């Protein structure tokens, strides 16, 4: 009797579920857009505020282009290159851009990242800033001085080469390992004698009273951007990487021909005065370049230098991690 009563209640409930399922199925068939949206693949891109990818992101052109390939774009912001590359190695993102030094440290730590393109050298915006008080007139005067720079960065490499030029060892100076924000405060408060950094921080700092470039990066660093991808994504989807790089070049062309608009855009994002951003943009060229043997040799030289000074624990081979998209 009880069992029969249970079935009496259960059958209407079952019919209700079947009815709802039929309606939902019909709705999906009648709305192909809703059905296909779940089939969209996602390209996960890591970016920093001061990089070419942020221009691409703000222009919104990549989303339109990748839509025809069945892809959506998910952007993730990172404060620095090392954190971005950690996410790449962990499989949290598929593609990103960084400076020249972070990929070397990532490789030394076992990353299988792939270099897929490089940026154009922007050495003019990198250099050593000093006070214009006559105490430091040449590179030789840096001996024994306290110098601020980000450890393992392009500025670190620039400083090593600058000191070599004056026959000074890195051990002959007092390093202050500071990120740009903290380094600027230390420089303004005269807690360091010199500051090695890159644009737009140099352009903004040049406006400080009694501040000048001792040297810029000419002959000391190429200071390139590198576009990188996870080995998994690069191997499976070289066609999508080509689409992304093509769109990066288009947004770079826009920035090069609309410098004031680009300066305004980046100024708002970075909180740096527009005039400083414009100065930084005017002394660089945005663009995407193939990774040539010359570029590989540049990057290998940085890696070898860091290894010789025991900044990285083992030798790395840059060429092993370069992906030639023309072969795919």
pLDDT tens digits for range 13-66? 434 444 434 433 444 444 433 333 445 799 999 998 888 999 999 999 999 999
Q: Please tell me which residue, 1 or 315, carries the higher pLDDT value.
A: 315
What's the Cα-to-Cα distance from 29 to each of 33, 38, 39, 70, rounded to whole Å? 9, 14, 14, 19
Closest CA to 202 of 265, 98, 122, 126: 126
- What is the percentage of the chain residues whose pLDDT exceeds 90? 79
Question: 41-122+224-327 maps to which CATH number?
Answer: 3.40.190.10
Q: How many CA atoms lie within 13 A of 65 on its CB side?
A: 19
1 or 56, which is more confident?
A: 56
| pLDDT tens sequence across 157-200 | 999 999 999 999 999 999 999 999 999 999 999 999 999 999 99
One fold for 41-122+224-327 and 124-216: yes
- Determine what percent of the chain is predicted with pLDDT higher than 70: 88
In this prediction, residues 197-204 reach a mean pLDDT of 94
Phi, psi angles (nearest 5°) of residue 154 = -65, -30
CB neighbours of residue 213 within 10 Å? 16
Q: How far is CA 169 from CA 95, 135, 174, 176, 295, in A?
A: 37, 20, 11, 15, 26
> What pLDDT does 27 receive?
40
The top-level CATH class assigned to 124-216 is alpha beta
A 10 A CB-CB count for 3 gives 7
Model pLDDT for residues 207-233, shown as the tens digit of each residue: 998 999 999 999 999 999 999 999 999
Banded pLDDT at 67 (limits 50, 70, 90): very high
Q: Show me where the domains of the chain are located.
A: 41-122+224-327, 124-216
> Strands 95-98 and 194-197, how do they pair?
unpaired
pLDDT tops 80 at residue 6: no
Q: What is the mean pLDDT of residues 277-282?
A: 96
SS3 of residue 47 by DSSP: strand
40 Cβ neighbours under 8 A, 6+ residues apart: 70, 71, 72
Selected residue with higher pLDDT from 81 and 147: 147
Cis (ω within 30 of 0) for the bond into 200?
Answer: yes
* 110 torsion bin: left (phi>0), alpha (psi -120 to 50), beta (else): left
Residue 72 has pLDDT above 90, yes or no: yes
Spatial separation of the C-alpha atoms in residues 184 and 189, rounded to whole Å = 9
Question: How do beta strands 226-229 and 95-98 pair?
Answer: antiparallel
pLDDT of residue 327: 64
Q: How confident is the model at residue 328 (pLDDT cuts 50, 70, 90)?
A: low
Could you tell me which of 214, 160, 162, 153 has the C-alpha nearest to residue 187?
214
On the question of pLDDT at 323 being above 90, the answer is yes
Nearest to 159 by CA among 191, 127, 199: 127
Q: Give residue 9's pLDDT.
A: 44
Instruction: List the beta strands (DSSP E) in the chain.
Output: 41-47, 71-77, 95-98, 114-118, 127-131, 146-149, 174-177, 194-197, 211-216, 226-229
Q: What integer pLDDT is reported at residue 36 of this predicted model?
A: 36
């Amino acid at each position: 009797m009880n069992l029969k009563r249970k079935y009496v209640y259960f059958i209407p409930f079952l019919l209700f579920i079947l009815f709802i399922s039929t309606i939902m199925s019909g709705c999906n068939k009648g709305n192909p857009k809703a059905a296909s949206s779940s089939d969209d693949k996602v390209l996960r891109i890591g970016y920093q505020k001061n990089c070419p990818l942020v221009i691409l992101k703000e222009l919104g052109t990549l989303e339109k282009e990748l839509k025809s390939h069945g892809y959506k774009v998910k952007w993730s912001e990172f404060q620095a290159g090392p954190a971005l590359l950690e996410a790449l190695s962990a499989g949290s993102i598929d593609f990103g851009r960084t400076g020249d030094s972070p990929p070397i440290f990532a490789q030394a730590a076992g990353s299988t990242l792939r270099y897929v393109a490089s940026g154009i050298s922007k050495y003019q915006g990198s250099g050593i800033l000093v006070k214009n008080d006559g105490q430091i007139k040449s590179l030789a005067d840096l001996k024994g001085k306290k110098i601020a720079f980000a450890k393992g960065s392009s500025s670190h490499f620039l400083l090593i080469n600058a000191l070599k030029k004056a026959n000074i060892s890195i051990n002959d100076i007092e390093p202050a390992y500071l990120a740009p924000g903290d380094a600027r405060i230390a420089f303004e408060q005269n807690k360091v004698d010199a500051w090695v950094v890159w644009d737009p921080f140099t352009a903004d700092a040049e406006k400080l009273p009694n501040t000048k470039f001792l040297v810029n990066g000419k002959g000391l660093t190429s200071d390139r951007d590198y576009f990188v991808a996870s080995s998994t994504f690069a191997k499976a989807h070289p066609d999508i990487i080509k689409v992304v790089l093509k769109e990066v070049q288009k947004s770079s062309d826009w920035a090069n021909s609309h410098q004031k608009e680009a300066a305004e855009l980046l100024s708002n994002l970075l909180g740096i005065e527009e005039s400083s951003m414009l100065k930084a943009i005017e002394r660089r060229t945005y663009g995407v370049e193939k990774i040539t043997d010359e570029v590989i040799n540049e990057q290998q030289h940085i890696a070898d230098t860091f290894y010789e000074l025991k900044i990285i624990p083992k030798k790395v081979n840059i060429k092993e991690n370069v992906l030639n998209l023309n072969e795919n």
